[in-house]
Structure 1
Amino acid sequence: MSQEELYKAINPVKFLKKHLDKSIRPDGRDLYEFRSTIINKNSIKKTEGSALVKIGNTTVICGIKAELAEPDNIDPNIGYIVPNIELNKLCSPKYRAVGVSNDSQVLSQTLFNIFVSSECLDPNDLCIAKGRLVWILYCDLICLDDSGSVLDVAVLALSSALKTVRLPKVEYDLDTKIIKADDKIRNPLNLKCMPVASTFMSFEDHLTADPTDDEEQIADSLITISTCDGKFNYIHQPGGNFLDPAKFDDLVKHAIINKQLIQWYPGHMAKGAKQMQQKLKGVDCIIEVHDARIPMSGRNNDLHYSLLTAKPSILVLNKKDFVPEELKSKIMDTLKVQRNIPSQPTFFTNCKDQRCTGIKKIIPKAIQMIQESNRFNRQTVKEHSIMIMGVPNVGKSSLINVLRNRHLNKKAASRVGAVAGITRSVLTKIKICEDPLIYLLDTPGILMPNIKNIETGMKLALCSCFQDHLVGEENIADYLLYWLNKNQNFSYLETMGLEEPTDDITYALLSCARKYDKKIALKNYSDNVVEERPNLLAAANHFIRAFRTGEFGKVLLDNNYLLNEQ
């Protein structure tokens, strides 16, 4: 046992306090950083739906069995979800070895309350024949390892399992009372939204997200906030000190934003990541494209290790026209320290400028690197194949088009757009040069499946790396206002119609709405009168668009990384 482990065992409270006072967790996470999430759907055969979810080391498996039954006399037209979770000594020594523990009963009831309050599934949809026949979904969950925040994992396991449920088509003859089931026709549940739970820990003056089992044991209080479709729907606080109401809104925001960002990993991205790895054998070089405003936050570490270490690679920091010129050398120095490929050539580019010197250097450098590398299985192949990769909306397709136009004088081959997710598949080869013969592979933006912390997520959102509505335009605007104030950039005052700086986003958006006459008509049903009110959503979009078009000057959102290096 090391000295640190011994100190932790003897003085767990002091050990935790020592770390939290430095704004870091014993496991190295930030205070509001969630552990990585793994979801494996359809993990159990002979069930209507199943999923295994792992957050950190906490693991819960859920299997759903559907049975036909007569409805309850009180509510004859609705079916039921019956969750039941098993917590035993195998997953944690704090539980009973055998039998149903109080913890299991409380957690099962909490799961039921969360899903009922979320209204994710209309129980009327589980009714086959009113007053005669309904579906009952028995949701059995088993905790395989409780290393903290088990309710979060259980909710996500049940949500994921419900998404996989396929119920056979059933008909009920009211006259003969005969039930006909067609197992060949199976339909998914009509899910309106999926609840997600986020547990927070209060310890002295500190609040932390996703506590581990060790942290839970010495916490002053725990609170779990459930959100559904971006809105708060349930709160669970199993004893302890009551949470300060002033801090509650902040926790709800963390719960909504963090979980939505963590889970936003569309199917085309997962498919694209696999396709990219499969096509790697036929690739000679990789061009990694990133937004120059977030050169560190924007990088996909998973793909970085799986792809870039296998082939020669070039880093392109696009949209350089939005970044201060004097900071570019510091960005280069920081990247050399942080990345594991110190010799990776890096170019700043602006794909809207055909005369950009960075764009002129990319293909010659790629050719040089390919010629100097060991091509192994491609030694006899004369053509060069280059893959373009990066997070969404950093200009990958724009780069292909400008290179194609420059070297072949031909029009665009890849669709581009200001919204994340335009490219959805790994395309066939796009010729961009005749001598030597070079093809590029455009790829979908692959966002990191687990975003490290809320600030990283907000930076990505601000730079359009995923669609605004997933985070919420007003949340993005709130972070933008915070960042501008923090960096003493008050150029937003004129845009927002303000006379002096403010940290109140609602006040700023109201001022913007008044200045540009952005209104929304709302009907008051009590007196049937239509009223005009300030359109805060339109104002938030105006504020965000002003940043993205450079109205607030050249910025580096990742300047905190540069400061840490100094």
Structure 2
Amino acid sequence: MAASGDGGADMEVEAFRRLYPARFYQRYLDAAVRPDARLLNRARSTSISLGPVPTADGSALVKVGNTTMLAGVKLEVMTPSSEGPDLGQVVVEFHMPPICSPQSRPGRPAEAACTITEQLTNALKSSELVDLHELSIAPGKAAWMAYLDIYCLDADGSLLDAALLASVSALAHLQIPSVAMTEEGTVIPALPETGISNHLSNDKHLQQPTVSEQRRLKLGAIPWSLTCALYKKHVLADPTAEEETVLHTILTVIIDSSGRLVAFYKPGGSIPATTNIIQECISLAKRRSKELQRSLDEAITQYESET
């Protein structure tokens, strides 16, 4: 029996959308609107929650539309290299577990995971978001190794944008603990009241009361990312996974908080990136960076008021 009423119409629209996705989108985009009612140059609603993982030294949960990322930072003590005796390190890894997307399969890493890991690493390094001197404990003896892991929980498009925002937010939340060091060079957590580790408070081999105070990591220029999908002469900001699949040509711009271009990615696609298109994408990225900065500032304010 054929369906009738609004439900039947909805079924017909959904069937047309699945059978002829390009024609479905063309009808919307020719009218300068998208199926989710967004204007072409508008990103999806974004939320940032700091500190969702109490066992991490810094963490953040980010949602951009349905795209969801959980980032956590874990600190471990390392011996700095002779080339950089007063430098720590940041190691980034992006994960796409099978639950996040039909394209992610158990037992094998998603193709996008390695690419996004490299892009995140390059963005954080090129923007100089983290001054590695900030991760030094005792020059030549000890420094912090910051393991930054980002888990994609829902891969609904613009993954690099959301992963970078989660990374930045987790680093903004990061608390570097206070530690003490023995003469042998062993680094041990210090009590906030005395600056001395509890079980070493009477140890004559304690080198000094406090090697470093608990503090928040100071951040440099913050990298912000905006992915755009290209269709004919149109530029669509922050595409969903469906839009990325249908429109094919994707372009990502990363700029830092000073407006400097950090990275530009265009992995193939049939539409060339003309000067006008690149300029439009950069302009949209700059506007988006201001929106994301406000979201991060609000998340920090909310977190501090709750703790």
- The TM-score with structure 2 as length reference comes to 0.81
What secondary structure, in the 3-state scheme, does the structure 1 residue paired with 2:282 have? helix
Match of 2:109 among 100, 109, 114: 100
CA contact (8 A) 2:48 2:299 kept: no
Q: 2:269 — aligned with what? A: 240
Q: 2:281 — aligned with what? A: 251
Q: 2:247 — aligned with what? A: 219
Aligned AA (2:185)? K
Does 1:20 pair with 2:29? yes
Q: 2:64 — aligned with what? A: 55
Residue deviations 1:171-206, cap 9 Å, x none? 546x63243432535211011232211111112222
Q: 1:84 — aligned with what? A: 93
Q: Give the Cα–Cα distance (whole angstroms) in 2 for the partners of residues 102 and 79 of structure 1.
A: 29
1:432-447 aligned at under 5 Å gives the runs none
Q: Give the Cα–Cα distance (whole angstroms) in 1 for the partners of residues 283 and 191 of structure 2.
A: 43
1:256 deviates by 1.0
1:267 deviates by 4.7
RMSD: 2.3
Q: Give the Cα–Cα distance (whole angstroms) in 2 for the partners of residues 63 and 246 of structure 1.
A: 38
What secondary structure, in the 3-state scheme, does the structure 1 residue paired with 2:172 have? helix
Match of 2:189 among 181, 191, 197: 181
Q: 1:30 — aligned with what? A: 39
Q: 2:197 — aligned with what? A: none
Match of 1:203 among 224, 227, 231: 231
Does 1:229 pair with 2:238? no
Q: 1:149 — aligned with what? A: 158
1:23 deviates by 0.3
Q: 1:115 — aligned with what? A: 124
Q: 1:352 — aligned with what? A: none
CA contact (8 A) 2:71 2:150 kept: yes
1:157-172 aligned at under 5 Å gives the runs 157-172=166-181
Judged with a 3 Å threshold, the aligned counterparts in structure 2 of structure 1 residues 131 and 221 are, in CA distance, closer, same or farther, namely farther
What secondary structure, in the 3-state scheme, does the structure 2 residue paired with 1:218 have? helix
Judged with a 3 Å threshold, the aligned counterparts in structure 2 of structure 1 residues 179 and 209 are, in CA distance, closer, same or farther, namely same
What secondary structure, in the 3-state scheme, does the structure 2 residue paired with 1:94 have? coil
Aligned AA (1:68)? V
Q: Give the Cα–Cα distance (whole angstroms) in 2 for the partners of residues 73 and 11 of structure 1.
A: 60
What secondary structure, in the 3-state scheme, does the structure 2 residue paired with 1:264 have? helix
Q: 2:205 — aligned with what? A: none
Judged with a 3 Å threshold, the aligned counterparts in structure 2 of structure 1 residues 71 and 99 are, in CA distance, closer, same or farther, namely farther
May I ask how many residue pairs the two structures share in their alignment? 271
Greater strand share, structure number: 2
- State the identity as a percent: 30
- The TM-score with structure 1 as length reference comes to 0.45
Structure 2, unmatched stretches of 5+, are: 1-9, 193-212
1:99 deviates by 3.0
CA contact (8 A) 1:168 1:183 kept: no
1:228 deviates by 1.4
1:97 deviates by 2.4
Q: 1:512 — aligned with what? A: none
Q: 1:523 — aligned with what? A: none
1:75 deviates by 3.7
Q: 2:3 — aligned with what? A: none
Q: Give the Cα–Cα distance (whole angstroms) in 2 for the partners of residues 32 and 202 of structure 1.
A: 11
Q: 1:124 — aligned with what? A: 133
1:288-327 aligned at under 5 Å gives the runs none
Judged with a 3 Å threshold, the aligned counterparts in structure 2 of structure 1 residues 36 and 183 are, in CA distance, closer, same or farther, namely farther
Judged with a 3 Å threshold, the aligned counterparts in structure 2 of structure 1 residues 183 and 205 are, in CA distance, closer, same or farther, namely farther
Judged with a 3 Å threshold, the aligned counterparts in structure 2 of structure 1 residues 94 and 243 are, in CA distance, closer, same or farther, namely same
Judged with a 3 Å threshold, the aligned counterparts in structure 2 of structure 1 residues 150 and 169 are, in CA distance, closer, same or farther, namely same
1:122 deviates by 0.9
> Higher relative CO (CA 8 A, sep ≥ 6), structure 1 or 2?
2
CA contact (8 A) 2:235 2:277 kept: no
What secondary structure, in the 3-state scheme, does the structure 2 residue paired with 1:23 have? coil
Match of 2:11 among 2, 11, 17: 2
Aligned AA (2:266)? Q
1:266-415 aligned at under 5 Å gives the runs 267=298
What secondary structure, in the 3-state scheme, does the structure 2 residue paired with 1:2 have? helix
Q: Give the Cα–Cα distance (whole angstroms) in 2 for the partners of residues 17 and 27 of structure 1.
A: 14
Structure 1, unmatched stretches of 5+, are: 275-566
Judged with a 3 Å threshold, the aligned counterparts in structure 2 of structure 1 residues 39 and 170 are, in CA distance, closer, same or farther, namely same
Match of 1:194 among 222, 225, 234: 222
Judged with a 3 Å threshold, the aligned counterparts in structure 2 of structure 1 residues 250 and 180 are, in CA distance, closer, same or farther, namely same
CA contact (8 A) 2:255 2:286 kept: yes
CA contact (8 A) 1:200 1:210 kept: yes
What secondary structure, in the 3-state scheme, does the structure 2 residue paired with 1:77 have? coil
Q: Give the Cα–Cα distance (whole angstroms) in 1 for the partners of residues 114 and 285 of structure 2.
A: 25
Aligned AA (2:184)? T
CA contact (8 A) 1:90 1:97 kept: no
CA contact (8 A) 1:82 1:139 kept: yes
Judged with a 3 Å threshold, the aligned counterparts in structure 2 of structure 1 residues 89 and 31 are, in CA distance, closer, same or farther, namely same
